[in-house]
Homo-oligomer: A and B are copies of this chain.
Amino acid sequence: MKPSSSISEPAGRADTADGGLFDGVLARGPVREAVGDRAWLQAMLDFEAALAVAQARAGLFGTGVAEAIRAACRAEAFDLGEIGREAANTGNPIVPMLERLREVTGETAGVAVHRGATSQDVIDTAAMLVSKRALGPLLQDVCGAADAAAELARADRATPMIGRTLLQQAVPTTFGLKAAGWMAGLDAAAARLAEVRDSRLAVQFGGAAGTMAGLDDKGPEIVRALAEELELAEPVLTWHTERTRIAELGSGLGEAAGAIAKPALDVILMAQTEVGEVREGSPGRGGSSSMEHKRNPIAAVSARACAMRAPGLVAELLAAMEQEHERAAGPWHAEWRPLSDLLTSVGSAAAWLRDCLEHLEVDEKRLRENLARHGSGDDVGSAAELVAKALDAHASARASRPATRPT
């Protein structure tokens, strides 16, 4: 699958996007926009468009009707704020969205809109589309950070430094082996997230109770066509209250957050004034207005701050798995925010870490001095061989991730 190439930020974006005050720090990179309200609304409309196409393919109505619906499914024609306000009357934004959509399509096509679907079909499928589109840039940044760590590992595979346990100097290692560990964690997390994206993000379609009633037994056929249209997986059953997909998505993001936080913390610790082994090198960043001598590791600190959100947000999603009967009385609604927040936070953490590692300056003199202080020699065991093996594994991981490369 191609990553969505055009989730672009328009030139004239007003400065009023809420959350913007802290977004420079906490919502870095392209993921925030990919999970913004506009992106959600477009994904909801993408569902309606694809459903019309799929139902036309199944013969429920003519292609012309489907094309009329599809043409109307453009988010920029909808008043997002109005939909949001009216959502309070029904508990979700689908009813007001459909009213507008039917106004635009006109009566003939209007009766074909949303046939056999329920609100949750729309929002769940939209959640999958939004997640898939957000995972594109997110994975690019996780993989970019892994590549940067690999470069550090390669360059310094044999550069000795002191290993530390419980934050005490212990025995020697190499900086390359440390960086290879960062790389391995990031690769593992990326592999897991890619797996979730490719196998677990599925369309949702089943109607109020998931039976696909009122569709002349063509429900299963429509689901297959819908999955093809939207390039999502085809589920065996609806998953309105079977939320393992959400759990795996959330958990994969939580794992990535941890894999990001680890190198960020190591950079912060190595950048301590008294340790001085690394320094962030991005130009124009990290200065302190009051203390000129300071060079703050802003990227690592921000990556860590963003990643720290994950455990609580994953817990929210897991707690919301307990959903009643055919459609839940609260836990489903409770997924929307933590899912978006998790994508944003982990995406931001990944963008920061990539920046941090791509510009990391290693002070080899300090590495040597700190090691010498300890007097424990420089036997680094099999470090170089281990790094070589790890870089081989990284090369294999890279080879299997075409989808996350920039187009």
Contacts and interface: CB of A to CB of B under 8 A. Distances in A.
Given A271-B167, A291-B171, A296-B166, A188 B50 contact: no
A84 interface: yes
Nearest to A185: B242
Contact of A237 (B36, B184, B245, B328): B184
A3 to B, nearest CB: 6
Contacts of A238: 181
Interface in A333-349: 333-334, 336-338, 341, 345
Interface in A298-343: 298, 300-302, 304-316, 318-334, 336-338, 341
A182 B262 CA distance: 26
A41 B327 CA distance: 40
A107 interface: no
Nearest to A5: B6
Contact of A14 (B81, B171, B254): B81
27 contacts: A1-B49, A1-B230, A15-B84, A16-B37, A16-B81, A18-B18, A21-B84, A22-B40, A90-B286, A162-B273, A167-B271, A167-B329, A171-B207, A172-B209, A181-B210, A181-B242, A212-B381, A213-B381, A217-B385, A236-B393, A251-B255, A261-B322, A262-B323, A274-B373, A304-B329, A307-B322, A314-B318
